[in-house]
Amino acid sequence: MLHMIVATHSPQSCPGVVPELRKKVQTSFQKMDEVSKKLGVTMQGSWTYPGGHVTFMLVDAPNAHVVNEMGSELGLLEWNTATIYPVVTMAEVMAHLQQLG
């Protein structure tokens, strides 16, 4: 199941300006593959809007609880507020609409 993680932080807790958080971000991303694999999560892509202090990560995971566990183990929830959205592709939506007639 696909999940879109939308993580936000304030300018005051931005890894771009807080050296301690910058180190945590670097460590988190170094551990990403190991933690993801252990939890059965596959990263589909990630993007950020630095000026808005928002990061987007699309993952394939068994459920949102596992996605939350990944964020916790990586420490990403220490400086971010994260919202996890279960999502489907537009192709899946169109196929479903086609079935409905």
Q: What is the 3-state secondary structure (H, E, C) of 28-64?
A: HHHHHHHHHHHHCCEEEEEEEEHHHCEEEEEEECCCH
At residue 72, the pLDDT reads 95
Q: 2 - beta bridge partners?
A: 60, 87
pTM of the entire structure? Answer: 0.89
Let me know: does 55 contact 47? Beta carbons within 8 Å: yes
Taking 90 as the threshold, does the pLDDT of residue 101 lie above it?
A: no
**pLDDT tens per residue, range 5-56:** 999 999 999 999 999 999 999 999 999 999 999 999 999 999 999 999 999 9
User: 81: which DSSP letter?
Assistant: E
Spell out the long-range contacts of 89-97 with Cβ–Cβ below 8 A and sequence spacing 24 or more: 89/2
Domains of the chain: 2-100 (3.30.70.1060)
Q: Stretch 66-86: mean pLDDT, rounded? A: 95
Question: Looking at residues 80-89, what average pLDDT do you find?
Answer: 96
